[in-house]
Amino acid sequence: MGTVNLAFHVAKEDFSKAGEASSSIKKTLKKLGIDSKIIRKVAIVTYEAEMNIVIHSHGGKITVDIDTEKIKIQAIDQGPGIADTNKAMEIGFSTATQKVRELGFGAGMGLPNIKRNSDKFAISSEIDKYTKIESSIYLTK
C-alpha cells in the first residue's frame, strides 16, 4: 500500500451534513482493509473533530494521510479559536448551547476522547485565527 491522502471541507452549523466526512473516511479505510480496531479509533477521532468544527467553528477541513506506519488526522478550522486549550481538554468542559446538547453532544467529552484514541495527539489554537487538532494512530502495534 502506498500513501493515501484524503481531504474534506466541513461547513459550520450544517447538522444535516455533519458526519459525512467521517463516514467517507471510514468507508475508505474499510476498502483499504485496515484493521477494524484501528478504523474504530479513527472514526471516533474524525467524528468528534468533525462535530467540533460544525458546532464550535466558522468552518474548516479534515485531512487524513495514510502511510504504511500510521494514519494521521488533521482537523483545521478558521476560528474563532480556543482561549485556553488546557481547559478545553478537561473532561466536562463545554461551551456548547442547549441546541447542541439536544443533538447528544456538548458534554465536554469530545477532545478528551480524541486524545484517548490517539497514539500521538496535539492541539493548537490562536484566537480569531484557527484551531488545529493533530492525531496519529499507528497501524503496527
Interface ranges with other proteins (CB under 8 A)? 15-16, 18-19, 22-23, 26, 36, 40, 43-44, 47-48, 51, 102-107, 109-110, 113, 116
Q: How many residues are recorded in the chain? A: 141
DSSP calls for 103-120:
TT--SS-HHHHHHHT-SE
Of the candidates 83, 87, 65, 85, the one whose C-alpha atom is nearest the C-alpha of residue 75 is 65
Which cell numbers hold the place of 59?
Answer: 468552518
Q: Does 117 bind ligand ADP (CB under 6 A)?
A: no
Q: Three-state SS for 59? A: coil
CA 24 to chain centre: 13
22 touches, from Mg ion, ligand ADP, other proteins, none (C-beta below 5 to 8 Å by class): other proteins
* Nearest distance in Å: CB 7, Mg ion: 21
* Nearest distance in Å: CB 4, other proteins: 20
Kindly list the residues in this chain that would bind ligand ADP in the complex (CB under 6 A).
Answer: 48, 52-53, 55-57, 77, 80, 82, 88, 93-96, 105-111, 131
